[in-house]
Homo-oligomer: A and B are copies of this chain.
């Protein structure tokens, strides 16, 4: 196995590093403009600079986009690049995001799609709820 984490990626450029670091430091997902606010002091001034860096980071798999929040998170799962389907569990109280992966779920989704003669290229799966720490019961 020797699972390597995001290996063989080209080095990050200055803007990409700034954006990636901002996301890594944050405990919660950040919008592109929230990222911008965080990197202004480092010389980035325009939204486009952030979006361009994000595009590359998304390509490399270092960052994920949460469609239901219009926000971005640094990848926290060393295995995620091996999969086409990642499940994001988004806590509505503390905003923490967990990445879950499961081969059976992916198979299930593909089976469901196949039954409808639909061929899947990409899947977005985002769960809203409470994380372990924030659940009413504790």
Q: Are B119 and A135 in contact (CB-based, < 8 A)? A: yes
Q: Are B104 and A118 in contact (CB-based, < 8 A)? A: no
Q: Are A87 and B109 in contact (CB-based, < 8 A)? A: yes
A118 touches which of B67, B98, B102 (Cβ 8 Å): B98
What is the total number of copies of this protein in its complex?
2
Residues of B within 8 A of A131 (CB): 116-118
Q: State the Cβ distance, A84 to closest chain B Cβ, in Å.
A: 11
A81 within 8 A of B: no
Q: Which residue of B lies closest to A122 (CB)?
A: B128
A51 within 8 A of B: no
Q: Which of A104, A108, A119 has the most CB of B within 10 A?
A: A119
A34 within 8 A of B: no
Q: Are B112 and A100 in contact (CB-based, < 8 A)? A: yes
CA distance A1 to B129 in the complex (A): 30
Residues of B within 8 A of A87 (CB): 109, 112
A132 within 8 A of B: yes
Closest 6 CB pairs of A and B: A117-B132, A67-B67, A120-B129, A124-B126, A121-B129, A67-B68
